[in-house]
Amino acid sequence: MSQQHDEWLALTVEEIIEPELPICDPHHHLWDRPGNPYLAQQLLADTRSGHNIVQSVFVECDAEYRTSGPQPLRPIGETEFVEAVANQLAQQGERLMGGIVSYADLTLGAAVDEVLEEHRSASRQRFRGIRHRTPYDEDTPTTRPHLLLDASFRQGFARLYAHNLSFDAWLFHPQLPELVDLARAFPETTIILDHIGGLRGVGRYAGRREEIYQEWKAAIDAVAACPNVLCKTGGICMIHYGFGWHDLPKPPGSVEIAEAMKPYYLYCIEKFGVDRCMFESNFPVDNASYSYHVLWNAYKRLTTGFSAAERAALFHDTAMRTYRLD
């Protein structure tokens, strides 16, 4: 982010709540985008800001693809890039990015095997899963509609279990029934629902928060009934969710954030259970609305009534088990 944005974030600084609580952040990115770098320096600034971040998982974000060679293999460049950064941090004594979730075009069908094998070669110790983003909305048609139901996509998806890989699902909330269909068709494959299912709160969804909340709850009930699906409990403060915090004169504090999260995250925890939920940062995307340390304070406020074992699961254990981290 820009210096101006950093100055805006600095308007809200909090004392760290329970700084000793171990945290595995199962969802963050790395990229070198002009004017908005998020590399080792920025990641460490966040993870060292006061909370006890003991491990993390990198999730694909179109970073550092190869610029030549066969198109399906170009995403391997991202895995190579992240592997190099993770090795650099390990040499400094940092235990971050123990897991890497990469991209492969699952519509390749069975031919995706070559891509998965190349990812494995690029990161033999850290490669854990694939995210093929499928969010589709008439307002933002960034992917094909009904991709989760597509036959070629499912042929590729079927190869994940054979390679001992999980699938991170990023979609918008009207697509949740399609995810249910996918999960039922492949009950042996672990699926992680990113950002509680991508609620929309802008465009034609603006001003309909309660209506959408009820629709989302019904869809979450069906998703949670699939035992092979877990939920990343985070991400609702991205701009398209419609809270508008990025436009405020001052960033929100953890009390306000926790209050906004409460109906969504507690519902997910109720339906999935703590053993299938994990708090995430989704940084630097969520950095548009608040600082890293404020976000984790909000999660801690949200769970003050939970037992020690329940909180351990939400902050650390579920993510470590799901992504098979040391």
**Consecutive H or E run containing 83:** helix 76-91
With b for 16 or more beta-carbon neighbours within 10 A and e for fewer, the 259-279 pattern comes to ebbeebbebbbebbebebbbb
What gap in Å lies between CA 72 and CA 111, rounded to an integer? 10
* Residue 192, beta-bridge partner list: 168, 230
Helix (H, G, I), strand (E, B) or coil at 143: coil
What gap in Å lies between CA 179 and CA 194, rounded to an integer? 12
**CA 198 centroid distance within chain:** 11
298 touches 19 (CB < 8 A) = no
In the prediction, which pLDDT does 9 show?
Answer: 96
In the prediction, which pLDDT does 203 show?
Answer: 86
- Condensed to tens digits (0 to 9), the pLDDT of residues 265-285 reads 999 999 999 999 999 999 999
- Condensed to tens digits (0 to 9), the pLDDT of residues 123-152 reads 999 999 999 999 998 887 778 999 999 999
234 touches 25 (CB < 8 A) = no
In the prediction, which pLDDT does 1 show?
Answer: 65
Q: Which residues of the chain have pLDDT under 70?
A: 1
In the prediction, which pLDDT does 272 show?
Answer: 98
Give all domains of the chain, ordered by start, each with its CATH number: 3-322 (3.20.20.140)
What gap in Å lies between CA 253 and CA 251, rounded to an integer? 7
